Amino acid sequence: MKNKVIKVLKDSESSQVQKYNELLDFISRSTKNTNLVRTFQTGFSPSKYDQLEHQVKKQFEISDLDIYNFQDEENNQVQELTATGADQGNGDQTQSNLEPENKLHIALAGNEPAQEGLKIRDEYEFLNDTNCPEEFHILVGQKITAWKEFAKEHQQLAIILSPEEAETEEGKAILTEFAELSDEEKEEVIYQLAKSTVENFQLNADIKNELDFYKEQGRVLGKHPKLKFLSMKQEIYEMSEADLINHRNNGQKNVSKIKKELEAEPGKESALERLENWEYRVKIVLERLATEFPPKEPSKPVKTITKK
């Protein structure tokens, strides 16, 4: 594995974000320090890349000289084979290797959610990374559902508002059912369909923004509620030791203040949400301080022996 790590470190063509994800995968598989891994799972930043590179070199005992002297033997062999024509006659093997992939696509042909999932994974390759935050996989599921619901409800709304275009049996059935409703019920159905259509369209767009931002920046945008805590964690893991201490102190004060507020107004939703946010922030700050900046033991005074 060491050579693979050096290959990534020496790679000058890939972006820092790509290298960051690859190095994170290496260190995740080689260390039992889950707190260290979590530090880097919150997303890319230039400073965190430098920290990760340092940790990887330390973990795999790689020096700058190792990187400088490294030769990609596998790539050299491929080039030699290509140059000498030694790869001729491998057509059957290539075909054989492709067969499982073809079978997979055939099996998924009638499975629309799975097909959509594959398309999204092709567009957002970070989803295939073993270190991809689980929250993004949840968002992808929501995105697929939101889009399917939007398409279905938009079609229903179009049929109701333009009955002359209802040519299919399904469309005619929708119109028949709609015609049996009272005027008040019809208004409610149209309102709910329009409302849900807009909400699902917006949800799909919001999730796309989150995926696009992470793809381009290697960071969490955090506008979607599902990514709220991941965004907080990302922010905290970019703090210096001094910032962490200040954040801890402010957080503990805020937690105490909000608890008093809830004593006066139990169940106040805005206060409960703020309490949840600050308690989470304090928790992550304390974890990071304990892991990366443990308190130093006070030095013991040196005893001096005086001669009488």
Tell me the per-residue pLDDT of 151-166, one tens digit each, with 9 for 90 and over.
999 999 999 998 887 7
Which of 19-28, 191-200, 262-271, 275-284 bottoms out in mean pLDDT, i.e. has the lowest? 19-28
Looking at residue 230, its pLDDT comes to: 93
Among residues 204, 237, 203, 205, the alpha carbon closest in space to that of 220 is found at 237
First-to-last C-alpha distance (Å) of the chain: 65
Looking at residue 308, its pLDDT comes to: 56
Looking at residue 297, its pLDDT comes to: 73
Q: Which residue has the higher pLDDT, 74 or 231?
A: 231
User: How many CA atoms lie less than 13 Å away from 96 in the CB half-sphere?
Assistant: 5
Tokens of 291: 């892991």
Residue pair 159/165 in contact by the 8 Å Cβ criterion: yes
Q: What percent of the chain has pLDDT over 90?
A: 48
For the chain, what is the mean pLDDT? 82
Task: Name the range with the highest mean pLDDT among 10-24, 79-93, 226-240.
Answer: 226-240
Quick check: helix, strand or coil at residue 45? coil
Looking at residue 32, its pLDDT comes to: 77
Looking at residue 70, its pLDDT comes to: 77
Q: Which residue has the higher pLDDT, 174 or 39?
A: 174
Section 206-219 average pLDDT:
93
Section 58-79 average pLDDT:
69
Q: Which residue has the higher pLDDT, 142 or 95?
A: 142
Looking at residue 66, its pLDDT comes to: 77
Report d(CA 214, CA 136) in Å as an integer: 10
Q: Which residue has the higher pLDDT, 80 or 306?
A: 306
Is a pLDDT exceeding 50 seen at residue 93? no
Q: Where are the alpha helices (DSSP H) in the chain?
A: 2-10, 16-30, 34-41, 46-60, 64-69, 73-84, 91-107, 112-123, 134-161, 169-179, 183-217, 228-236, 241-264, 269-292
Residue pair 179/171 in contact by the 8 Å Cβ criterion: no
Q: Which residue has the tokens 């019920």?
A: 185
Is a pLDDT exceeding 90 seen at residue 92? no
Quick check: helix, strand or coil at residue 114? helix
Q: Which residue has the tokens 């062999």?
A: 77
User: How many CA atoms lie less than 13 Å away from 116 in the CB half-sphere?
Assistant: 12
Looking at residue 37, its pLDDT comes to: 79
Is a pLDDT exceeding 60 seen at residue 2? yes
Is a pLDDT exceeding 60 seen at residue 210? yes
Looking at residue 101, its pLDDT comes to: 45
Looking at residue 216, its pLDDT comes to: 92
Residue pair 142/203 in contact by the 8 Å Cβ criterion: yes
Looking at residue 82, its pLDDT comes to: 46
Among residues 145, 157, 158, the alpha carbon closest in space to that of 116 is found at 145
Section 123-142 average pLDDT:
90
Q: How many residues does the chain have?
A: 308
Tell me the per-residue pLDDT of 257-304, one tens digit each, with 9 for 90 and over.
999 999 999 999 999 999 999 999 999 999 999 999 988 777 666 666
Ranges of each domain in the chain: 2-82, 128-217, 239-292
Q: Which residue has the higher pLDDT, 22 or 207?
A: 207
Looking at residue 14, its pLDDT comes to: 83
Residue pair 236/242 in contact by the 8 Å Cβ criterion: no
Tell me the per-residue pLDDT of 225-265, one tens digit each, with 9 for 90 and over.
989 999 999 999 999 999 999 999 999 999 999 999 999 99
Rounded to the nearest 5 degrees, what angle is found at the Cα of 40, between the Cα atoms of 39 and 44?
A: 135
Report d(CA 210, CA 215) in Å as an integer: 9
Report d(CA 291, CA 33) in Å as an integer: 10
Residue pair 20/218 in contact by the 8 Å Cβ criterion: yes
Is a pLDDT exceeding 50 seen at residue 214? yes
Residue pair 232/280 in contact by the 8 Å Cβ criterion: yes
